[in-house]
Structure 1
Amino acid sequence: MISHRLIRAIQSELPGAKTGKEAVTRSLRRIMRKPHEPEFAIISRLKPEGQSFVDVGANAGQSIESIRLFAPDAALHAFEANAGLARRLEARYERDRDVTIHPYGLGREVGRFTLHVPRYRRMVYDGLASIDFQEASNWLNPERVFGFRPDQLTIESMGCDVRPLDNIGLDPCFVKIDVQGLEHDVVLGGIETMRRSEPLLLIEAPSDELCKLLADVGFSDLAYSGGMVAPGENRSSSANRLFASARRMRSLVSAG
Structure 2
Amino acid sequence: MLQKISALVQRHPVTWRGAWSLVHHLPFLLPHDASYRGIKHLGLPPDGLLLDVGANDGISALSFRRLVPSNPILSIEISPRHEPTLRAMKQRMPKFDYVLVGAGEKHDTLRLFTPIYRGILLHTFAGVDRANVQHTLVVAFGQAIADRCVMLEDNTVIQPLDELNASPAFIKIDVEGMGNAVLRGLRQTLEQSHPALMIEVEPDEIDEMLGFMSGFGYKPMVYDSASDQLNAFQGAAAFFDGGNKNLYFTQ
Considering the TM-score relative to the shorter chain, is it more than 0.5? yes
Name the counterpart of 1:229. Answer: 230
3-state SS of 1:144 partner: helix
Deviating more after overlay: 102-111 vs 206-215:
206-215
Structure 1 gaps, min length 5? 246-256
Name the counterpart of 1:211. Answer: 210
Name the counterpart of 1:254. Answer: none
2:97 maps to amino acid? T
How many angstroms does 1:210 deviate by?
A: 2.3
3-state SS of 2:116 partner: strand
3-state SS of 1:87 partner: helix
TM-score normalised over the length of structure 2: 0.82
How many angstroms does 1:202 deviate by?
A: 1.1
Change in 2 beyond 3 A, CA 1:196/1:49: farther
Contact kept in structure 1, 2:23 and 2:32, CA below 8 Å: no
In 2, Cα distance between equivalents of 1:114 and 1:215: 32
Name the counterpart of 1:251. Answer: none
TM-score normalised over the length of structure 1: 0.81
In 2, Cα distance between equivalents of 1:205 and 1:7: 24
**1:51-66 maps to which residues of 2 (within 5 A)?**
51-66=48-63
Name the counterpart of 2:244. Answer: 238
In 2, Cα distance between equivalents of 1:160 and 1:87: 16
Change in 2 beyond 3 A, CA 1:89/1:133: same
Name the counterpart of 2:219. Answer: 220
Name the counterpart of 2:65. Answer: 68
Contact kept in structure 1, 2:198 and 2:246, CA below 8 Å: yes
Name the counterpart of 1:178. Answer: 174
1:110 maps to amino acid? H
State the percentage of identical aligned residues.
Answer: 24
3-state SS of 1:68 partner: helix
Change in 2 beyond 3 A, CA 1:201/1:190: same
2:191 maps to amino acid? R
Contact kept in structure 2, 1:128 and 1:180, CA below 8 Å: no
How many angstroms does 1:101 deviate by?
A: 1.2
2:79 maps to amino acid? N
**1:33-48 maps to which residues of 2 (within 5 A)?**
34-45=30-41, 46-48=43-45
In 2, Cα distance between equivalents of 1:70 and 1:7: 25
Structure 2 gaps, min length 5? none
3-state SS of 1:184 partner: helix
2:58 maps to amino acid? G
Name the counterpart of 2:154. Answer: 158
Instruction: Give the one of 94, 97, 104 matched to 1:97.
Output: 94
Change in 2 beyond 3 A, CA 1:8/1:71: closer
In 1, Cα distance between equivalents of 2:63 and 2:143: 33
In 1, Cα distance between equivalents of 2:12 and 2:130: 25
Change in 2 beyond 3 A, CA 1:95/1:151: closer
